[in-house]
Chains A and B, each alone.
Chain A
Amino acid sequence: MIPAPAETTTSRRPRRRPEITVLRLLPRPSPLHRLWAGTKLLVVAALALMVSVRPTWPALGVAAAIVALGAVVAHVPRGAVPRLPRWIWMALALGAVLAAQSGTAPLTHVAGVELSLGGLGDWGLLTLLTVVLLAAALLVGWTTPLGEVAPALARLATPARWVRLPVDEWVVAVGLAIRCLPLLIDETRTLVAVRRVRRRRVTIRRSPVRTTLRMVGFEAHDLLATAVVAALRRARDLADAIEARGGIKATTGEASAPGMADLVVLGTIIVVVAATLLL
């Protein structure tokens, strides 16, 4: 038997790349899954509006509480939370350091270093607002079957129909965009793999900076052009398929409609948001 090479290499795996955990339905059903897609979209929009008008700690608290409640009801497991790339953490840390050094009152001293609590507070508020809004959007993606998004938008966009905007066309486009996302992800993965297999022979280290930049430019170009061509070809195939079905009309089997639960949720949210804004 060939002496097995030291198994230690197994543990020294390259860092796991962040996987795409957005817009994927959580497999375990929950009351939040059953809510009408339009309700969830409206709630996210309402929260965004609320914290944009009143970016204060109490408003942030209310929004965070609503999102946290949603996460608990939807049984979001910890593994679903996307792993952020390292540089985001570094950027956040840099922001915190700058804010701490701003000298905005109130101040405190830790181990002889002056820290600005006022600056840190503002920084924390702004950062957390972004995080809470992102979490709200993620929650919708995790609990909404993508097939329900387009019909819900169709219903929500009814007012736009009164001013004769081509809403139906847009709804079809949204439906097709959602339908094509998995294809796009697949094609992108293939492109990345192809690029990696091809890349090896470019001797970047020996060439001067200018040439290297040119090579990088060329490569970006190649990938972009190929991706666009692939997307256009797919669009052409889709157009044929649409033609074969007699053109654009309805998009979904059973249009889901808001029910009692949706009214309750929407009503509660409206009251909470209004109260936060007025108080």
Chain B
Amino acid sequence: MADLTLALCLVGHLLPIASVLFAAAVVPMAAIVVRHRLRALLAGTVAACAVGFLIAGLGLLISLVVCAGLGAVVGWSTRRAWGVRKTVVVGTLVLWPPLAAVAVAGLAVLAELRRLTLVQITNSWRGASRILRHVGLGVVANVGDPIVRSATRDWWATIPLGLLVAAMVCLAVSWIIARPTLRRVQDALGPPRPDDPLDRLDDVEPSDPVPVELSGVAYRYPSGPLVLRDVSLRIDPGELVAVVGPNGSGKSTLASILVGRTPTGGTVTRPGGPGLGRRHGSAIVFQRPEAQVLGVRVRDDVVWGLNSATVDVDGILDQVGLRDLADRETSTLSGGELQRLAVGAALARAPRLLVSDESTSMVDPDGRHALIELLHEIPASGDVAVVHVTHRRAECTSADRVVALDAGRLVAPPGPPPVRSPTRPAAHPRGAPSLLTLRDVGHEYMRETPWAGRALTDVNLDLDAGEGLLVLGRNGSGKSTLAWILAGVLTPTEGTARLAGRPLERCVGQVGLAVQHARLQLLRSTAGADVAAAAGVDRAAAASALASVGLDPAVFAARRVDELSGGEMRRVALAGILAGRPQAIVLDEPFAGLDDPGRDALVELLVELRESAGITLVVVSHDDELPDGLVDRVVRLERGRMVEDSDADRPANRTGRR
């Protein structure tokens, strides 16, 4: 949050329309105040100031402090539902006196800096007034001269007066800009979450989380439906238990109860307290790799929240296979490595119960295998119970026991999963002139700087209308860069990328792009409004686009974006793209985090789109086990190069046929 303010202030420093951006920078600060305590704002301000000072020194720091002050007032006024007038009056009374006092005191102490600044203002005005007289605007110059003269002479009066006006204007502008945004943020996220009842008893109770016995456990979120009902099970030390079930079956709730959340019904019996995050207590690894890493460096992350002297960091990194990366920054790790790091951070607490809550679902296949192997080794290495929650039945085969959940109830474990074979492309009829052409395309980020990094090299690709292409590659293989180039939002540094002969960067919008983080693609507050805005179409067209992706407009058009599930968000984003009638669609990791039914439904939809509408599809994925029929060509990227093309024997001169 503080980062966002910082970024906006930074941009504000660099852009001429700075004032508006500073007002925008108030919004994140105000959002903190609306949703949290003032103390959080204080911490956020300190954080933003520290980073801001590192970036641009004192000037940025001062503007950040001012933004925080404005944010506090606007946030508070939103909480109290004040009008603009009351906000301005109260805000001015609160902010202006200290601001003016500090400014006047500072200028009084720094006499030479003050003199230089005032001289600079006088000089600039004198230059301006002379030029004004030259071009026949002497009137303006005559009016301005005495004003500037007395303003610079009586700076001790002008500065506070100027600040008073500035404070009032800034407050009003911030209020106008921030209010609607804050309302939408509140709508999107609902009321601030109450302090989670994750157990705090363990201060008095020694941690001893296993064996844990659940009997007749039920859970209901406040004013929500029952997500778990009558669940009874027992977890013993030294065993690996897999919990399977589709999205929304209550798996994650069960996981949180195992690590200490108090159920709303039934009983949980343990020898001691759950001790979440404590030594010899329980530990949990979540789904999103980048969201649970807290340290800047790998080494820091392992010991985050611990006394570093008591932890054998290298031993733990060895165990999770990250020994060589100990000093790397965590932002440079792949998803699989991040998840293994999260397991490492859990192991640093020598837990007796380790819960993995869908930790494998956003990770590429190699990373997944390594992670499952790791989870498998842990129970054997000590008296640790491991619970692996997953929607992939294939991951259960190595578990000692499988528990299946469906709609909040325990059900009989499903049979072995159907074996998926690697995607086998179907032949695509040739002959049509190619739609997308990439010739010797390469891309280098941050060219001519010490941080230059090559993402793509010599990529040649011809895609026909209606063709389906799967781009495979591991994290960091350049596949997302390729996706962005195909969508025209990134201009390659080498080679040419064309859509029907025109450079792609000038056809932005004609190739749809579905980004991996679907939430960022939905900018309006409801699904229907977003589709309409994305495509520039009316409500009716938006409704039919929603219907075309299998979402009933009657139900979903008015549905808030933040109430959608991950799969539904992807569909709404897709509807927004389709309504704009693109010639091709690029989808970046469209299946990450979806369970089998969700994935199958999306695949079915995409296949239908290709067959009925003749839209060219480019699917970028790390998953080579996609169902047949989706694509008819597979390209594999490795370190920015195309190392495999199922269509390699296709005549490049397109005079011949296969």
Contacts and interface: CB of A to CB of B under 8 A. Distances in A.
Q: Do A and B bind each other?
A: yes
B254 interface: no
Contacts of A208: none
B224 interface: no
Given A54-B112, A174-B47, A198 B534 contact: yes
A71 interface: no
B520 interface: yes
Nearest to A202: B536
A14 to B, nearest CB: 6
Interface string B92-132: 00000000000000000010110011011011111110110
B306 A250 contact: yes
A62 interface: no
Q: Which residue of B50, B297, B489 has the most chain A CB atoms within 10 A of its CB atom?
A: B50
A246 B276 contact: yes
Interface in B36-60: 39, 42-44, 46-48, 50-51, 53-59
Interface stretch (A16-24, A257-265, A267-275): A16-24
A101 B487 contact: no
Q: Which residue of B283, B293, B305, B512 has the most chain A CB atoms within 10 A of its CB atom?
A: B305
A176 B27 CA distance: 20
Nearest to A157: B46
A244 B3 contact: no
Contacts of B536: 200-203
Interface of A is mostly: helix
Given A55-B112, A183-B290, A241-B291, A146 B329 contact: yes
B367 interface: no
B509 A179 contact: no
A211 interface: no
A122 B123 contact: yes
B56 A245 contact: no
B61 to A, nearest CB: 10
Q: Which residue of B46, B180, B512, B536 has the most chain A CB atoms within 10 A of its CB atom?
A: B46
B524 A222 contact: yes
Interface string B444-471: 0111111110000000000000000000
A228 B185 contact: yes
Interface in A1-42: 1-2, 4-5, 7, 9-10, 13-14, 16, 19, 21-24, 26-28, 41
A43 interface: no
Contact of A184 (B3, B57, B112, B513): B3
Contacts, number: 364
B513 A252 contact: no
Given A22-B55, A134-B57, A174 B313 contact: no
A226 to B, nearest CB: 5
Interface residues of A, number: 130
A30 B5 CA distance: 32
Given A177-B2, A201-B580, A250-B304, A102 B290 contact: no
A126 B120 contact: yes
Interface stretch (B150-158, B188-196, B549-557): B188-196
A101 B57 contact: no
B299 A101 contact: no
Contacts of B4: 184, 227-228, 231
B57 A137 contact: yes
A28 B450 CA distance: 9
B349 A14 contact: no
B657 to A, nearest CB: 16
Contacts of B15: 85
A64 interface: no
B37 to A, nearest CB: 11
A100 B495 CA distance: 47
A150 B300 CA distance: 11
A233 to B, nearest CB: 7
Contacts of B580: 200-201
Nearest to B515: A190
Interface in A135-185: 136-137, 140-141, 144-147, 149-150, 153, 166, 169-170, 172-184
Contacts of B119: 104, 122
B281 to A, nearest CB: 8
Interface in B1-55: 1-4, 6-7, 14-16, 24, 27-28, 31, 35, 39, 42-44, 46-48, 50-51, 53-55
Interface of B: 1-4, 6-7, 14-16, 24, 27-28, 31, 35, 39, 42-44, 46-48, 50-51, 53-59, 110, 112-113, 116-117, 119-120, 122-128, 130-131, 177, 180-181, 184-185, 188-189, 193, 196, 198, 259, 275-278, 281, 283-286, 288, 290-297, 299-300, 302-308, 313, 329-331, 345-346, 349, 433, 439, 445-452, 484, 487-491, 495-496, 498, 501, 503, 505, 508-510, 512-513, 515, 517, 519-525, 533-536, 562, 576, 580, 652-654
Interface of A: 1-2, 4-5, 7, 9-10, 13-14, 16, 19, 21-24, 26-28, 41, 44, 48, 52-56, 77, 79-80, 85, 87-88, 91, 95, 97-104, 116, 118-119, 122-123, 125-126, 130, 133-134, 136-137, 140-141, 144-147, 149-150, 153, 166, 169-170, 172-184, 187-188, 190-203, 220-238, 240-255
Nearest 10 CB-CB pairings of A with B: A246-B277, A200-B509, A201-B536, A98-B127, A101-B127, A237-B291, A147-B296, A222-B523, A182-B331, A241-B292
10 contacts: A26-B450, A88-B14, A137-B54, A145-B296, A191-B520, A194-B523, A201-B509, A229-B189, A245-B277, A252-B303
